[in-house]
Structure 1
Amino acid sequence: MSPMSIFRALLLFGAWLIAGLSVHAQTTRLVVPYPAGGATDSYARQLADELTKRGLQTIVENRPGASGMIAADYVARSKPDGLTLLVGSNSTLVNNAVLFAKMSYDPFKDFVPVAHFGYQPQVLIARANAPFGTIGEYVTYAKANPGKINRASVGSGSITNLCLALLDRAAGIQTTHVPYTGEAPMIQAMLGEQVDVYMGSIAQALPYIQSGKLRALAVFDQVRLDQFPNVPTLKESGYDIDALAWFGFVASAGTPPATVNRLNRLINEVLVTDTFSAKALQLGWIRRTGSADEFGRFIAKENDLWAPLIREMGLAKSM
């Protein structure tokens, strides 16, 4: 090959490399605070696929651990350009600020809301050979065996822990909390009989319940679920506890409003389609839509609900 041919080849390679780096630099990352394979991760990947089809190159990045604080801190410190979004939740955007004495981010100052995208109806699930098969039997067993029931959650600040802690208080029982990094590890712990119960999404648990490996005891929602028509809500069982495991996107503080509005519009375009709604239901999700400002007001309302309750339970700054 002549020197000129080599030079031209190098120029073409350089142009290709620069173009590739440019595309990568413009990729939007959805940062999930849980391991791959869980309900939240699956939902985020569905959203990423649909956003990519609409011209917003999008990938999912998993950063699990520390009740979501590893992922939240990462996004809080990211460049405010709208290319790095946190899949935020009750725990990362509300509860952690009350529960933990030391935090590396401020959920109310370090983020701007982008879009509320849905919630997961939660179910209290037990291992198949647990010594209880209903919510009534669960309470009776717990009263007779204080601290013996091991209950799993996806983190101390998560709704999956706080709701069962509320149930402990309401029923006058004592159980032992065991945190995990995500729902998939919790299910494996259940199957291995390392824990007895957990509160989680219907999508992840459904195959195991249908196969008889796990049992559904109660639904933490206003109505019974189609997948479990014979499983009562917690309110039907005499406990006035209702909570949503909600999720939405936030970006680092300082992200331009025009960027936030563009992302919100694209995300909502996906959420309102019948095709995506059907996929969401299959994954155990109920979609939510709305403006960035509406999501911000929703977060504030959730803080007004849960922060006093966490303090009342004696859990504030306990971790």
Structure 2
Amino acid sequence: MIRRTILSAFTGLLLAGTAAFGSAHAQQPIRIVVPFSPGGGTDQYVRLLASELTKRGSLVIVENKPGASGIVAADYVARSRPDGLTVLMSSLSTLTSNTVLYDKLPYDPAKDFAHVTQIAYQPAIIVGRMDLPYTNIKEMVAYAKANPGKINRGSPGAAILTNLAPMSFEKMAGIGTTHIPFPGDSPGIQALLGKQIDVHGTSITGPLPHIRAGKLRVLGVMDNRRLPQVPEAPTFKEQGFDIEAPLWYALSVPAATPKDAITRLNASVNKLVTDPEFIARARAIGMEPRGGSPKEITRFIRTEHERWAPLLQSLNLVKEAQ
């Protein structure tokens, strides 16, 4: 009887300890690692996403690790413990562009990550100062041809689509600008406001307050339709240049992360991005929420790689990125 009582007590303690460990683990925050500086458009959206997920019962925080076109953040997550608690805000740059722009990466985009879901997309745009001698892309092209080397163009990084798409456009239009990369969108916008650069490749989220304040203007939208936030800004297609460049954002985790952890996070995010109130708040900062299954985002990333990698190789950007 005594032996049975001791065994029961021991079993109870073991179960209690296991439950306590599970509870403690469940209370640990999920960290979404953003490869850009705080304050940029993507950072704003991810913070909105994290805040709303936290309100719905999943403790989520944002950690910024800018640098080297997303390599710092991607490598950090790739090497993190695969427990579903460390998540990369991934994009074209971390999963495709860097494989072309760098001779050697500390992580393998194809092998080191499992993908959870897409979270949003938005078209690339080019914004400029209000004191420039051109007010749209068509006028900028004419100015660039008449004044070679006079336009300084910023971007959030060499491997970011908001640099690659403008470079592709410049090749198409037969012009050139002096590219000045920044460690994220916010520093580039501040440089634009400070007249250190003339134009900046970006998305609508970061510069929107400055556009509404009359300090910046959108020269062109790389989409097949105008943006609802700035309906007066023409698309590139309207100005005679056939180019579209949607930026997309996803969540990725270390490759060995258990499927159940991926499934839980996927379900939480997909429930949120279909909520009408959340969609309205996201659109207010220029984002279009979008979810999907792990298989769908994995397939989409593969398609994007096949689309952009050959173009990146043709632009011969390796020396710039190093």
Q: TM-score, normalised by structure 1?
A: 0.90
Q: Whole-Å Cα distance in 2 between the matches of residues 138 and 35 of structure 1? A: 29
Gaps of 5+ in 2: 1-19
Q: Whole-Å Cα distance in 2 between the matches of residues 111 and 203 of structure 1? A: 27
Q: Which contiguous aligned blocks of 4+ residues in structure 1 show a shift greater than 6 angstroms?
A: none
Q: In the TM superposition, what whole-angstrom CA distance separates every residue of 1:226-266 from its partner, at most 9, and x where no partner exists?
A: 22222211112111111111100000111111211111111
| CA drift at 1:316 | 5.2
1:164 to 156, 166, 172: 166
CA RMSD after TM alignment: 1.9
For the pair 1:314 / 2:312, whether they are aligned, the reply is: no
The question of whether the paired residues in 2 share the 8 Å contact of 1:153 and 1:198 is answered with yes
Q: Secondary structure at the match of 1:80?
A: coil
Q: Secondary structure at the match of 1:302?
A: helix
1:38 to 32, 37, 40: 40
* Partner of residue 31, structure 2: 29
* Partner of residue 260, structure 1: 262
* Partner of residue 5, structure 1: none
The question of whether the paired residues in 2 share the 8 Å contact of 1:125 and 1:214 is answered with yes
The question of whether the paired residues in 2 share the 8 Å contact of 1:220 and 1:242 is answered with yes
| CA drift at 1:130 | 1.5
Q: In the TM superposition, what whole-angstrom CA distance separates every residue of 1:137-173 from its partner, at most 9, and x where no partner exists?
A: 1001111222221111111110010011011101100
Structure 1 residue identity aligned to 2:201: M
| CA drift at 1:26 | 2.0
Q: Secondary structure at the match of 1:124?
A: strand
The question of whether the paired residues in 1 share the 8 Å contact of 2:27 and 2:59 is answered with no
The question of whether the paired residues in 2 share the 8 Å contact of 1:100 and 1:318 is answered with no
Q: In the TM superposition, what whole-angstrom CA distance separates every residue of 1:165-192 from its partner, at most 9, and x where no partner exists?
A: 0111011001111001111111110111
* Partner of residue 149, structure 1: 151
1:276 to 278, 281, 295: 278
Q: Whole-Å Cα distance in 2 between the matches of residues 25 and 84 of structure 1? A: 14
Q: Secondary structure at the match of 2:233?
A: coil
Structure 1 residue identity aligned to 2:230: F
| CA drift at 1:39 | 1.2
Which sits farther off after the overlay, 298-307 or 218-227?
Answer: 218-227
Gaps of 5+ in 1: 1-17
Q: Whole-Å Cα distance in 1 between the matches of residues 36 and 27 of structure 2? A: 24
For the pair 1:240 / 2:242, whether they are aligned, the reply is: yes
Q: Whole-Å Cα distance in 2 between the matches of residues 135 and 176 of structure 1? A: 16
The question of whether the paired residues in 1 share the 8 Å contact of 2:42 and 2:205 is answered with no
Structure 1 residue identity aligned to 2:217: R
* Equivalent runs, 1:81-120 vs 2, <5 Å: 81-120=83-122
